[in-house]
């Protein structure tokens, strides 16, 4: 078991470097468009402030190439100032003397927000110099940036190797949820996959092939599976180099007696218009699952005790092709199953459908939750001390 912040004793007055994932969308005025990632972090911050540590908060924001005033952490510091009145300061540097002086002046129970980690090119390169500068700021390191745990960056992987460390409540929760699903599986376990490409989800499907009772495949990736079955997919998206892998998965599933459910009808783009079709032909691009498919998938979902879902079931960004994804989101919410939704697109689809509060767990990290679903070890978590 990984050490969590609850296991850190006698930390009053200590300098704690907390890595958060505050990579939130901002508009041109610096207004935060979606604060989910910040609110998810508040319990950890609150707990550490109550332990009377000197809290040093750091995060990346966007993909800056050097300093970029539109990607400053200042708006996030302002958000936190409102939430923790009189306890938050902002430093417009990432590391260095000014930061050291500001930390020196802090009182226990206060926090300082550092500037965007990615303003320093050493962050993504995990450069030893940048790691050393970060490590010098603190006595203890806490990682709670779940969304970047699949990366080996200076502020997570690098600095964790240099300081006594622990995970925060957010990472702890993510790990517990995935452990619950994959190690203490409740049956029927239904896995739902969608999205554009099979290659991205291949490891994921292989991982659940040992555990799931049914696998629902929709979205663009379904067409590679339909092609593998010799079904005409018209001009729909297909990964020709993955057709053999798809055949392999279909065969393995048959051997293991696992149901694979694929679309039986579609909403297709035909001559520039959306049209409901049973069979796809040349000139048709399947972009959403059809009515019969929604019914078929929903029936399976309603029997499930446990569900994981990654990837939209159609091109949901286009209102003509979003019905399938929205209906499936509602079915997952309505089911009695313990449900986890992971991946940026699926999470935003669930939010848009208005049922987010009925899903047991919306995983906050896109790439990182995909890796956990694949049963992979996340490097930035691997380097955290175990108890
Ligand atoms: P992914 O990142 O692999 O989960 O893919 C998400 C993307 O898949 C979204 O942008 C969807 O628009 C897209 N997508 C879903 N279904 C289809 C489809 N039938 N054809 C093309 N793209 C799709």
Quick count: other Cβ atoms within 10 Å of Cβ 127? 16
Residue with tokens 């989800």: 201
According to the model, what pLDDT value does residue 332 have? 97
Known catalytic membership, residue 197: yes
Test site for ligand 1: of 286, 310, 311, most ligand atoms within 8 A of the Cβ = 311
With residue 15 as reference, give the H or E element that holds it.
strand 15-19
Closest atom of ligand 1 to 316 CA is: 12
Task: Decide whether any atom of ligand 1 lies within 6 Å of the 200 Cβ.
Answer: yes
Q: Whose CA is nearest to atom 1 of ligand 1?
A: 195
Pairing of strands 111-113, 88-90: parallel
242 CA → ligand 1 middle, Å: 16
Position 69 scores a pLDDT of 93
Task: Give 22-91 as a 3 state SS string.
Answer: CCCCECCCCCECCCHHHHCCHHHHHHHHHCCCEEEEECCCCCCCCCCHHHCCHHHHHHHHHHCCCCEEEC
Q: Using alpha carbons, list the distances in angstroms from residue 342 to 63, 174, 310, 360.
A: 22, 11, 5, 11
pLDDT of residue 115: 98
> How far apart, in Å, do the first and last CA atoms of the chain sit?
6
What does the alpha-carbon distance between residue 161 and residue 168 come to, in Å, rounded to a whole number?
16
- The predicted model scores a pTM of 0.88
Calculate how far, in angstroms, residue 117's C-alpha sits from the geometric centre of ligand 1.
Answer: 31
Give the pLDDT of residue 210. Answer: 85
**pLDDT digit string (tens) for 270-298?**
999 999 999 999 999 999 999 999 999 99
pLDDT for 372:
86
∠ Cα 378 220 252 (to 5°): 65
Domains and CATH numbers, the chain: 5-171 (3.40.50.1260), 185-373 (3.40.50.1260)
Phi, psi of 355 (to 5 degrees): -115, 15
- 37 counts as catalytic: yes
The CA distances from residue 2 to 24, 162, 166, 257, 358, in Å, are 27, 17, 7, 36, 29
Examine residue 188 and say whether the peptide bond preceding it is cis (omega within 30 degrees of 0).
yes
Of 384, 359, 380, the closest CA to residue 371 belongs to: 380
Q: 366-373 vs 169-183: helix axis angle to the nearest 10?
A: 30
Per-residue pLDDT of the chain (387 residues; tens, 9 = 90+): 999 999 999 999 999 999 999 999 898 888 999 898 999 999 999 999 999 999 999 999 999 999 999 999 999 999 999 999 999 999 999 999 999 999 999 999 999 999 999 999 999 999 999 999 999 999 999 999 999 999 999 999 999 999 999 999 999 999 999 988 988 899 999 999 999 878 888 888 998 998 999 999 999 999 999 999 999 999 999 999 999 999 999 999 999 999 999 999 999 999 999 999 999 999 999 999 999 999 999 999 999 999 999 999 999 999 999 999 999 999 999 999 999 998 778 888 898 999 999 999 998 787 898 888 888 889 999 999 998
Instruction: Kindly state if the Cβ of 209 falls inside 6 Å of ligand 1.
Output: no
pLDDT at 239: 94
Structure tokens at 279: 């069979």
**Residue 287 beta carbon below 6 angstroms from any ligand 1 atom:** yes
Residue 52 has a pLDDT of 98
SS3 113: strand
- Return the DSSP state at 280: -
CA dist list (Å): 221 to 184, 218, 309, 321, 387: 28, 7, 14, 15, 41
Q: Residue 179: exposed, middle, or buried by beta-carbon count in 10 A (0-12, 13-18, 19+)? A: exposed
């Amino acid at each position: 078991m990984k050490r969590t912040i609850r296991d850190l004793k006698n930390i009053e007055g200590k300098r704690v470097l907390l890595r958060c994932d505050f990579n939130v969308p901002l508009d041109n005025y610096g207004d935060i468009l979606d604060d989910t990632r910040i609110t998810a972090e508040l319990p950890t911050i609150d707990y550490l402030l109550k332990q009377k540590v000197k809290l040093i908060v750091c995060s990346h924001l966007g993909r800056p190439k050097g300093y970029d005033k539109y990607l400053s952490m200042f708006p996030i510091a302002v958000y936190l100032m409102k939430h923790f009145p009189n306890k938050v300061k902002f430093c417009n540097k990432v590391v260095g003397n000014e930061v050291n002086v500001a930390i020196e002046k802090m009182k226990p129970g206060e926090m300082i927000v550092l500037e965007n980690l990615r303003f320093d090119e050493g962050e993504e390169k995990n450069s030893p110099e940048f790691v050393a500068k970060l490590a010098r700021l603190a006595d203890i390191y806490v990682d709670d940036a779940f969304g970047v745990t699949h990366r080996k960056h200076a502020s997570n992987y690098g600095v964790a190797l240099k300081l006594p460390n622990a995970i925060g409540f957010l990472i702890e929760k993510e790990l517990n949820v995935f452990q619950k699903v994959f190690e203490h599986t409740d049956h029927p376990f239904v896995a739902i996959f969608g999205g554009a490409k099979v290659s991205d989800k291949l490891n994921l499907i292989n991982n659940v092939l040992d555990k799931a009772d049914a696998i629902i495949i929709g979205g663009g990736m379904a067409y590679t599976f339909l092609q593998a079955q010799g079904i005409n997919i018209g001009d729909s998206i297909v990964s020709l180099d993955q057709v053999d892998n798809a055949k392999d998965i279909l065969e393995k599933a048959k051997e293991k007696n696992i149901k694979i459910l694929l679309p039986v009808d579609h909403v297709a783009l035909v001559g520039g218009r959306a049209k409901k079709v049973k069979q796809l032909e040349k000139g048709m691009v399947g972009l959403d699952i059809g009515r019969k498919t929604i019914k078929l998938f929903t029936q399976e979902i309603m029997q499930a005790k446990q569900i994981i879902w990654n990837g939209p079931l159609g091109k949901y960004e286009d209102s003509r092709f979003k019905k399938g994804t929205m209906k499936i989101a509602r079915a997952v919410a309505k089911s009695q199953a313990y449900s986890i939704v992971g991946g940026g697109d699926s999470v935003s689809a669930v939010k848009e459908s208005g049922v987010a509060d009925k899903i047991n767990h919306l995983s906050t990290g896109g790439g990182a939750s995909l890796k956990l679903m694949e049963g992979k070890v996340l490097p930035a978590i691997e380097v955290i001390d175990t108890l």
